[in-house]
Chain A
Amino acid sequence: KNEVEQSPQNLTAQEGEFITINCSYSVGISALHWLQQHPGGGIVSLFMLSSGKKKHGRLIATINIQEKHSSLHITASHPRDSAVYICAVRRETSGSRLTFGEGTQLTVNP
């Protein structure tokens, strides 16, 4: 079993829909990251969380440390949001390395 699990693996939405991507992890962490990867490989860091909630534009990320769960929400989705969204955790015992989920492929249709 992977230490970081994401759901769903694939998600197709219509423009304007509210989107939720979930991430569960099974280890103690010092931080959780949400990353966005566009075709061609480039990865951009969206959020780094250790507790609570963060918001940036139409993106909201939440984390529940007790339940070992995080969610990424996209409000008023747009076709340019189409990308792979990856959850990654920094384990308490692993120094600086990140452990990644397998990613969620999001497609937003116009």
Chain B
Amino acid sequence: DTGVSQNPRHKITKRGQNVTFRCDPISEHNRLYWYRQTLGQGPEFLTYFQNEAQLEKSRLLSDRFSAERPKGSFSTLEIQRTEQGDSAMYLCASSSRPGRRTDTQYFGPGTRLTVL
């Protein structure tokens, strides 16, 4: 257990439905990252927060995806009008070290999304 929690751990939904995932980072960490991993591949970066500010977004994050971190603590990732191609493991990670670029990221267990 790294101290980063994600809920739910598994989500099965029908195409076209909206889903929301939650990530609770390690409490003193100010940086929070979302990644997506499809079967047999390495994770791919989606977006990154420093405190409540969303500082980077990948081109993978289409307009159906939105992420928030309203109070600089937990974060949510919402996917609207899900498609079968959204089926993947969604990973959250957090890190600390303000002002440092080389910080260790601590990963949550992931939320596995299956879109039928």
Interface of A toward B, CB cutoff 8 Å: 4, 30-31, 33, 35, 40-45, 48, 50, 86, 88, 90, 94-103
Contacts and interface: CB of A to CB of B under 8 A. Distances in A.
A88 B50 CA distance: 20
Nearest to B44: A100
Range, interface on chain B? 20 to 34
- The list of the 5 closest CB pairs from A to B, nearest first, reads A100-B42, A41-B110, A43-B107, A31-B102, A97-B45
Given A31-B102, A43-B107, A102 B42 contact: yes
A22 to B, nearest CB: 15
B107 A95 contact: no
Nearest to A84: B42
Contact of A41 (B2, B48, B89, B95): B89
B65 interface: no
Contacts of B107: 35, 42-45
Nearest to A100: B42
Interface in B77-96: 89, 91, 93, 95
